[in-house]
Amino acid sequence: MSAASGGEGRPLWAPWRIEYIERSRGPLVCIFCEPDPAVADRARLILFRGRHAFVLLNRYPYAAAHLMVAPYAHTGKLHALAPDARAEVMALVAESSRILEATYACEGLNVGANLGKAAGAGFAEHLHFHIVPRWSGDVNFMTSIGEIRVIPTHIERTYDELLPAFRELGTR
């Protein structure tokens, strides 16, 4: 609880957030485009690369194993993607959903895209889909009252747990 709500105002430490805060101060670099110089897929949390699109973990997730699927093409418009790229993005959304259900036994999924800044897109110029696994009761007082998300596992562990399934996807 916060001091304003009658609590003692104890701090909740989230030191990883400083990276997000400091990054937002400078020019916005598209997280979906290939950086120059290149960065290893593991460092970028990329689990799978297809011909036109890829799958990665969200570094600032809403829930554990929050994935994103993005095309390589830098566009904010779904209709601007070539038909093959659109088809692959949607196929990867479906396969990622299957992998999350098989790996984590999630009871539901939130799947969606925020197209455009007015729709809430953090990177409006590069469309991407979010796939957020959900479980009954996964929203508790921390989320609903404290406006804090509790992620019960480290993102690198999640990466290691999901990587074998995505590697298998590449061999089909």
Angle between the N-to-C axes of helices 155-170 and 83-104, in degrees from 0 to 180, rounded to the nearest 10: 120
Q: Which residue, 65, 54, 63, is CA-closest to 160?
A: 65
Judge whether 154 counts as a catalytic residue.
Answer: no
Distance CA 142, CA 162 (A): 26
The residue written with tokens 């399934």 in the block is 165
Give the pair of three-digit tokens for residue 127.
């469309």
Distance CA 47, CA 27 (A): 26
Distance CA 89, CA 57 (A): 15
Q: How many CB atoms lie within 10 A of CB 64?
A: 22
Catalytic hit among 52, 66, 126, 128:
128
Helix (H) or strand (E) holding 46: strand 46-49
The answer to whether the CB of 67 falls within 8 A of the CB of 111 is no
Catalogue the active-site residues.
128
